[in-house]
C-alpha cells in the first residue's frame, strides 16, 4: 500500500491551482442519465470520479475521457440502458446512490445497492427514499438493494425535508426534473455544488428556482441535445490549502477560485489571525505567527463545512488557549484525533465537541488515514511537525485530492509518495 513521506517545518510558497469540485462532478455525472450529449470541463480526475464513470458505463452511457484537458464527454442514446447500480460499484463510492433519482424518473424503475456506512458514520439514505416516495415511487429494500419503480412516471409534489441532506436534495432534484408537473422542495441543502448542479440542469432546459432553502422544479421530458458545462472549483480543496498556508505558508497563492464562496472559511481563518489578500479569482495567504483560539460548530452551507473540520483542528493545535469545534453533521468524524494525539496534539473529546489545547509542538510519526478528510489533516500536521511523518493508507486521500503531493512539492514542501 502506498504511503506519503513528509519532512516537516518546511515553509511553503508559490501558487496552487485549485481543481474542479469532486462533490459537484458526482451529481452532475449522475444527471447525465437525463441528458443526451454533454461535455464537462475542469474535471478533477480523482478515484471517486473514475468509479462513477465505471457505474455510468455499466448503466449504458458512452463516455470519453480526455485527461490532459480535464474533460469528459458523455453520449446517452437511451438505448440498452441497465437500470442497475451494483454493490461492487456503490460500496466504495456512496455517491453512486445518486443515480437512483435520474434512473427512476427517466426509465420508471431502478435497482440501486444500498451504499452502506463508512468510517464517518452510518450514512443512511432514508431521506432520499422519503422524497422519492413523495413523488410517487414504490420502493422496497431487498437483499441490500433499493428496488424502486414508478410505472406511471413520477408526479410533482411539495416535499419538506425533516433535516438537511446534500445527497437527498440532489436525488430529489434529479427525480423532480423528469416528474410530471411542479415540485417544490423545502429545507434543502444549498451547497455551492448543488447550485452548480442546478446551473447544469438549467442548461439542459429544466426550469428551476432557488429561494432560501426552497427549490422549485418544473418537470419536463424534453432536454437540450448538446450542452457544455465547466465544473465549479473545489471549495474543500481550497479550504484545505488555505489552512496549510495559515500554518506554514510564506506567500501561498491559490488560483481558479471564487473567494465569495469561501466567505465563512476566510472569516474563521482571519479571526484566528491569518493574513489573506483577495485578487480577482485568487487568494494569497501568509502564515500567522500568533494564532488565536476559536470556537465553532460545523453546519450545512453557508456555515463552516464538516469537510474542513479535521483540517481546522490541526490549525487549532497551533493556537494559544483552548479552541472548540463541535461536529454537528456526522456522528463519528473525529478519527483523525487519536492520530494527531500520537503526534503530540492535546485534544479531549466530550460528546460531539473536540477541545483542542494549544499551542502544542507536533512531532513526526507514522500515522494512519481513516477517511478522506482525516487523511489530509494528517498531511497538514506532517507539514508542521518536527522530523518525518509517514501517512499510511493514502488511498483515502486519492479519492478526493487531485495531485496533492505534486501541488505541495511545487510549493517547496518536502513530500513524496513511497
Residue 283 is placed in which grid cell? 487568494
Q: From 38, 40, 46, select the one nearest 22 (Cα to Cα).
A: 46
Minimum Å distance from CB 172 to ligand EPZ?
10
- Is residue 251 at the binding interface for ligand EPZ, with CB under 6 A as the rule? no
- The footprint of ligand EPZ on residues 291-320 (CB under 6 A) is 306-307
Q: Of 305 and 364, which has the nearer Cβ to ligand EPZ?
A: 305
With CB under 6 A as the contact rule, the residue among 59, 95, 135, 394 that binds ligand EPZ is 95
Candidates 82-90, 120-128, 153-161, 362-370 — which segment interacts with ligand EPZ by CB under 6 A?
120-128
Q: Of 127 and 264, which has the nearer Cβ to ligand EPZ?
A: 127
- Is residue 394 at the binding interface for ligand EPZ, with CB under 6 A as the rule? no
Minimum Å distance from CB 307 to ligand EPZ?
5
Q: Of 116 and 124, which has the nearer Cβ to ligand EPZ?
A: 124
- Is residue 373 at the binding interface for ligand EPZ, with CB under 6 A as the rule? yes
C-alpha distance across the termini of the chain, in Å:
9
Minimum Å distance from CB 224 to ligand EPZ?
25
- Is residue 123 at the binding interface for ligand EPZ, with CB under 6 A as the rule? yes
- Is residue 198 at the binding interface for ligand EPZ, with CB under 6 A as the rule? no
Instruction: Print the SS3 string covering the chain.
Output: CCCEEEECCCCEEEEEECCECHHHHHHHHHHHHHCCEEEEECCCCCHHHHHHHHHHHHHCCEEEEECCCCEEEEECCCCCCCCEECHHHHCCCHHHHHHHHHHHHHHCEEEEECCCCECCECCCCHHHHHHHHHCCCEEEEECCEEEEECCCCCECCEEECCCCCHHHHHHHHHHHHCCECEEEEECCCCCHHHHHHHHHHHHCCCEEEEECCEEEEECCCCCCCEEEEECCECHHHHHHHHHHHHHHEEEEEEECCCHHHHHHHHHHHHHCCCEEEEECCEEEEECCCCCECCEEEECCCCCECHHHHHHHHHHHHCCEEEEEEECCCCCCCCCHHHHHHHCCCEEEEECCEEEEEECCCCECCEEECCCHHHHHHHHHHHHHCECEEEEECCHHHHCCCCCHHHHHHCCCCEEEEC
Minimum Å distance from CB 170 to ligand EPZ?
7
Q: Of 137 and 223, which has the nearer Cβ to ligand EPZ?
A: 137
**How big is the chain, counted in residues?**
418
The two beta strands, 226-230 and 37-41, are parallel
- The footprint of ligand EPZ on residues 149-188 (CB under 6 A) is 165-168
With CB under 6 A as the contact rule, the residue among 60, 86, 116, 124 that binds ligand EPZ is 124
CA distance 52 to 35: 16
The two beta strands, 366-368 and 12-17, are unpaired
CA distance 294 to 114: 38
Enzyme catalytic residues: 118
Minimum Å distance from CB 164 to ligand EPZ?
7
Q: Of 12 and 52, which has the nearer Cβ to ligand EPZ?
A: 52
Candidates 7-15, 124-132, 240-248, 389-397 — which segment interacts with ligand EPZ by CB under 6 A?
124-132
- Is residue 414 at the binding interface for ligand EPZ, with CB under 6 A as the rule? no
- The footprint of ligand EPZ on residues 33-52 (CB under 6 A) is none
Q: How many CB atoms sit inside 10 A of residue 228's CB? A: 13
Candidates 117-125, 137-145, 204-212, 404-412 — which segment interacts with ligand EPZ by CB under 6 A?
117-125
- The footprint of ligand EPZ on residues 323-342 (CB under 6 A) is 329-330
With CB under 6 A as the contact rule, the residue among 112, 114, 189, 315 that binds ligand EPZ is 189
**Site mask, ligand EPZ, residues 16-35, x = CB under 6 A?**
-------x--x---------
- Is residue 201 at the binding interface for ligand EPZ, with CB under 6 A as the rule? no
Minimum Å distance from CB 173 to ligand EPZ?
12
With CB under 6 A as the contact rule, the residue among 6, 127, 208, 294 that binds ligand EPZ is 127
Minimum Å distance from CB 303 to ligand EPZ?
10
Q: Which residues of this protein are in contact with ligand EPZ, per CB under 6 A?
A: 23, 26, 95, 121, 123-128, 165-168, 189, 306-307, 329-330, 372-373, 400
Amino acid at each position: 500500500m502506498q504511503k506519503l513521506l513528509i519532512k516537516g517545518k518546511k515553509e511553503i510558497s508559490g501558487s496552487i491551482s485549485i481543481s474542479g469540485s469532486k462533490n459537484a462532478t458526482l451529481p452532475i455525472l449522475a444527471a447525465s442519465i437525463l441528458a443526451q450529449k454533454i461535455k464537462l470541463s475542469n474535471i478533477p480526475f480523482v478515484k471517486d470520479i473514475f468509479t462513477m464513470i465505471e457505474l455510468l458505463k455499466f448503466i449504458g452511457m458512452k463516455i470519453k475521457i480526455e485527461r490532459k484537458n480535464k474533460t469528459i464527454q458523455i453520449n446517452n442514446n437511451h438505448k440498452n440502458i441497465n437500470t442497475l447500480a451494483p454493490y461492487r460499484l456503490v460500496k466504495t463510492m456512496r455517491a453512486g446512490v445518486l443515480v437512483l433519482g435520474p434512473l427512476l424518473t427517466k426509465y420508471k424503475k431502478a435497482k440501486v445497492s444500498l451504499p452502506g456506512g463508512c468510517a464517518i458514520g452510518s450514512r443512511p439514505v432514508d431521506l432520499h427514499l422519503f422524497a422519492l416516495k413523495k413523488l410517487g415511487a414504490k420502493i422496497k429494500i431487498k437483499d441490500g438493494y433499493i428496488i424502486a419503480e414508478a410505472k406511471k412516471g413520477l408526479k410533482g409534489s411539495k416535499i419538506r425535508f425533516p433535516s438537511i441532506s446534500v445527497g437527498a436534495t440532489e436525488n430529489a432534484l434529479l427525480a423532480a426534473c423528469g416528474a410530471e408537473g411542479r415540485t417544490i422542495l423545502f429545507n434543502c441543502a444549498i451547497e455551492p455544488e448543488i447550485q452548480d448542479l442546478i446551473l447544469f440542469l438549467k442548461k439542459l432546459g429544466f426550469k428551476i428556482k432557488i429561494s432560501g432553502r426552497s427549490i422549485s422544479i418544473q418537470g419536463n421530458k424534453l432536454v437540450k441535445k448538446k450542452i457544455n458545462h465547466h465544473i465549479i472549483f473545489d471549495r474543500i480543496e481550497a479550504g484545505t490549502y488555505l489552512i496549510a498556508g495559515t500554518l506554514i505558508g510564506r506567500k501561498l497563492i491559490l488560483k481558479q477560485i471564487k473567494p465569495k464562496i469561501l466567505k465563512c472559511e476566510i472569516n474563521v481563518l482571519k479571526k484566528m489571525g491569518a493574513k489573506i489578500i483577495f485578487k480577482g479569482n485568487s487568494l494569497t495567504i501568509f502564515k500567522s505567527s500568533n494564532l488565536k483560539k476559536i470556537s465553532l460548530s460545523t453546519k450545512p452551507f453557508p456555515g463552516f463545512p464538516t469537510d474542513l473540520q479535521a483540517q481546522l483542528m490541526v490549525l487549532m493545535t497551533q493556537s494559544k488557549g483552548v479552541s472548540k469545534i463541535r461536529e454537528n453533521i456526522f456522528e463519528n468524524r473525529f478519527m483523525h484525533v487519536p492520530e494527531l494525539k500520537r503526534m503530540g496534539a492535546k485534544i479531549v473529546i466530550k460528546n460531539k465537541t473536540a477541545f483542542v489545547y494549544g499551542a502544542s509542538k507536533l512531532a513526526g510519526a507514522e500515522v494512519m488515514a481513516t477517511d478522506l478528510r482525516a487523511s489530509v489533516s494528517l498531511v497538514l500536521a506532517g507539514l508542521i511537525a518536527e522530523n518525518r511523518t509517514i501517512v499510511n493508507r493514502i488511498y483515502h486521500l486519492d479519492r478526493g485530492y487531485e495531485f496533492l503531493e505534486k501541488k505541495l512539492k511545487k510549493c517547496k514542501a518536502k513530500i513524496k509518495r513511497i
